[in-house]
Chains A and B, each alone.
Chain A
Amino acid sequence: MSGANGRELLRLEGVSKVFAQRRGFSRTAGLRAVTDASFTLAGGEVLALVGESGSGKSTLGRTAIRVVEPTAGDIWLEGERITDLDRRQLRPLRRKMQMVFQDPYGSLNPRIRIGAAVAEGMRLHGLASARTLRDRVAQALEQVGLRPEIADRFPAALSGGQRQRVAIARALAVEPTVIVADEPTSALDVSVQAEIIDLLKALQSRQALSMLFISHDLRVVGDISDRVMVLYLGRIVESGPTGQVFRDPAHPYTRALLQAVPKHVGAAHGKRQLLKGELPNPVSPPSGCVFHPRCPFAIEACRSADMSHREVAPGQVTACIRDDLPAFDAQREDRT
C-alpha cells in the first residue's frame, strides 16, 4: 500500500499553533496547541497522528491543510508554499485538501439534502456541469456503498454510518490529493467502525490518496497507516514506520500508549496505572522535555532537554534523549 507514487505531497516545517486567549482587554499567555511540528506526507501514503485528547493532533491535522492558521512555520503543497495565501487564494486549492470529520451528525447540514451536500464541492470548483451533476452525485454515493436514491433525503433520515459515508463521498467528490480524517470512527458504533475503516482503506488504495489519519485508537492505526506520528502536548515525540514503531517504540510515551491497548477482549488484567498524573496545562508546558513530569524513565537532564529528534532506526525518530531504555515488552508496564 505504501507510496503509490512516493513523491512529496505535503510538507510542514516548524509549524506551531498558539491559540490566543483573551481575558477582558488583556491578552494572557496563549494555549500552545502545536509546537514546532515538521513532517512530510508522500503521495499515496497514510500517515497516522496519535495521542491522547488534548495532544494537539486535531489542530495539527487542521493546520496542515490550513483550516487552522499556523502561528509559525511553513507549509508546502505539491512543492508550492501555501503558508501566506489568503482565504481567497486558498479557495481553489481547497479542492486538493479535503477532510472527514469526527462527528457525522454535526458535519452534515441538517437542512441540505444529501445529494446537494455531495454536489456542493463539485459545483464550487466547476467539476461538473448542471447536466452531469446528478450522475456524478450518484457515482460518488455508489463509490462509498450507498444507494443513489439516498440523494433526496435529509441527513436526519440516515444512520451514523451512512452519514459518515456521505461525508466521505462529499470529500472525495472533488478528487482531492490529501484527506485529513479526524477520528472518523470515534463517534460511531463499534459495529460500524470497522466498515468505515475498510471503506477508507479500499478508497485510499484504489485512488492512491494520501491521508492524514488522526486517531487515538492504536489498533485502527496499526491496521490502516504506513507511518505513525505520536503527539504529546503539541510535540511530535516519535515518528516512523507504523510496524517498526509499534514493535520497538523508542519514546517512553509511545510505550505507555502501546501498553494501554487491551490485548484480548474480555481478558482480565489488573488495574493499569501506566502514566502518573494528567496532561499538563498547554498554556504553561513543563520545561525541557514536556513529558518528563510523567515519564517513568526521566533523569535530571530531561528537565532541560530540547526535544530535537534523533534517528534510532531507518525512518524512525524520537525526541527522547535516553538511548539506554530497557527492551520493550508490550505485555508489561514500564516502571522506574
Chain B
Amino acid sequence: MTAQFASMIARRPALTMGMALALAIAVVALLPGLFAPQPPNAIDVGRALLPPSAEHWFGTDHVGRDVYARVVHGARVTLGIVAGSLALSALFGGVAGTIAGYLRGWSDLFSGQLVEVILSFPPIFLGVMITGIIGSNVANLMLALSIVYLPLFFRAARSAAMVESARPYVEAAQVLGAGEGRILFRHLLPNVLPAVLTQYIILFPLALQIQAALGFLGLGVQPPTPDWGASLQESKDYVLYASWTAIFPGLALVVSSLAVILIGRGLQSRT
C-alpha cells in the first residue's frame, strides 16, 4: 500500500502534489472553524497591526482582526465563489456547446457569434462592467464570473461534440430510434464531459485571479466578510510597515492556484 503510494508519487509527482494540496485546501475551506476557532470578524482596535506571533500566527490587520482566521475563513468564500461560478459556466456553456456542436446550422452560428462578442472583452473589464451595472454582491459576482468564462466552456464543448457526433455510436443510436434529446444527453454529453473538466481545471486559476482582482477593486464580496481579494484591498495602505496583512492572503491565492495548476499539469502528462 505504502509502496504503491510511493510509486504513484514517483510516476506522477505533479499530480500527486497538486491533489494533496487541493485536498488540504478543500478540507480547510469546508471546515474553517476546525483550523481557526477564533472569529474572523472580531474587531479589537487596541491590538491592530500586530506582527505574527504565537497568539496571532499571521498577525493582525488594521482593526485588530486575526489575519490567520480571516485567511482560513476566506477560503470558503473565495474558492467557493470561483468553484461555483465556474461550475455554472461549465454547465450552461457545456450544454449549449454540445447542442451547437451536434446540431450545427443556424443555432450554432448564432450562439457562436454571441460567444465571440463576449470573448472580445478582456475578462477583467467584463467583470467590472457586469458587477458595476448590476451591483456588487456575492450572487452578482458569481453571475459575472460565469458570464466571463462561459464562452471558453462553450468552445471546448462544441469542438468535442463535433468530433463525437461524427463517431459511429451516434449513428448507431439514431438507427436504434433514439431522439435528438437522448442522443445529446445520454450519448454525447458524457463523452464531451472530459473536455469540459479539462477546461475547468485550466480556467480555475485564471478565475481565481479575476475574483481576487474584483475583490481588490471593491466589486466583489463586501466587508466585513473575509475574502482574499478584499483582504488585499484593505491591506494596501499598510503594506509597507505591516506586510503580513497582504502577504498571507496573497500566499493563499498563490498556493490555491498552484494546486490546481499542478493537477492540470499532472493530468496533461498522462502516460
Is there an interface contact between A103 and B176, defined as CB atoms closer than 8 Å?
no
Question: Chain B's nearest CB lies how many Å from the CB of A118?
Answer: 10
CB-CB under 8 A from A109, the residues of chain B are: 169, 172-173, 187, 190-191
The interface-forming segment of A119-127, A214-222, A245-253, A294-302 is A119-127
CB-CB under 8 A from B177, the residues of chain A are: 91-92, 94-95, 121, 124-125, 174
Is there an interface contact between B172 and A107, defined as CB atoms closer than 8 Å?
yes
Is there an interface contact between B169 and A120, defined as CB atoms closer than 8 Å?
no
Chain A CB within 8 A of B167 CB? yes
CB-CB under 8 A from A145, the residues of chain B are: none
Is there an interface contact between B178 and A120, defined as CB atoms closer than 8 Å?
yes
Interface members, chain B 172-187 (any A CB < 8 Å):
172-179, 182, 186-187
Is there an interface contact between A110 and B173, defined as CB atoms closer than 8 Å?
no
Docked pose: A235 CA to B187 CA in angstroms: 35
Is there an interface contact between B176 and A174, defined as CB atoms closer than 8 Å?
yes
CB-CB under 8 A from A102, the residues of chain B are: 168
CB-CB under 8 A from B237, the residues of chain A are: none
Chain A CB within 8 A of B116 CB? no
Question: Interface centre among A98, A102, A120, by most B CB within 10 Å?
Answer: A120
Chain B CB within 8 A of A305 CB? no
CB-CB under 8 A from A110, the residues of chain B are: 169, 191
Interface members, chain A 75-132 (any B CB < 8 Å):
91-92, 94-95, 97-99, 101-103, 106-112, 120-121, 124-125
Docked pose: A120 CA to B168 CA in angstroms: 16
CB-CB under 8 A from A170, the residues of chain B are: 172, 176
Question: Chain A's nearest CB lies how many Å from the CB of B176?
Answer: 4
CB-CB under 8 A from A67, the residues of chain B are: 171, 174-175
Interface members, chain B 62-77 (any A CB < 8 Å):
none
CB-CB under 8 A from A65, the residues of chain B are: 175
Docked pose: A67 CA to B176 CA in angstroms: 10
The closest CB in chain A to the CB of B172 belongs to A107
Question: Interface centre among B169, B176, B179, by most A CB within 10 Å?
Answer: B176
Docked pose: A125 CA to B172 CA in angstroms: 15
Docked pose: A107 CA to B174 CA in angstroms: 11
Interface members, chain B 151-171 (any A CB < 8 Å):
167-169, 171
Is there an interface contact between A107 and B168, defined as CB atoms closer than 8 Å?
yes
Option from A97, A98, A106, A112 in Cβ contact (under 8 Å) with B168: A106
Docked pose: A230 CA to B264 CA in angstroms: 54
Is there an interface contact between B169 and A91, defined as CB atoms closer than 8 Å?
no
Question: Chain A's nearest CB lies how many Å from the CB of B185?
Answer: 12
Question: Chain A's nearest CB lies how many Å from the CB of B9?
Answer: 27
Is there an interface contact between B169 and A108, defined as CB atoms closer than 8 Å?
yes
Question: Chain A's nearest CB lies how many Å from the CB of B32?
Answer: 37
Question: Interface centre among B169, B171, B186, B187, by most A CB within 10 Å?
Answer: B169
Given A106-B167, A111-B190, CB of A120 within 8 Å of CB of B173 = yes
Question: Interface centre among A109, A111, A120, A125, by most B CB within 10 Å?
Answer: A109
Docked pose: A108 CA to B174 CA in angstroms: 13
User: Could you give 14 example pairs across A and B, Cβ below 8 Å?
Assistant: A95-B177, A97-B175, A101-B172, A102-B168, A103-B168, A106-B169, A107-B171, A107-B172, A108-B172, A110-B169, A112-B186, A124-B176, A170-B172, A174-B177
Q: Report B's interface with A, CB cutoff 8 A.
A: 167-169, 171-179, 182, 186-187, 190-191
Give me 13 other A-B pairs in contact (C-beta within 8 A), A97-B175, A124-B182, A170-B172 excluded: A94-B177, A95-B177, A98-B175, A99-B172, A101-B168, A106-B168, A107-B168, A109-B187, A109-B190, A111-B190, A120-B173, A124-B178, A167-B172
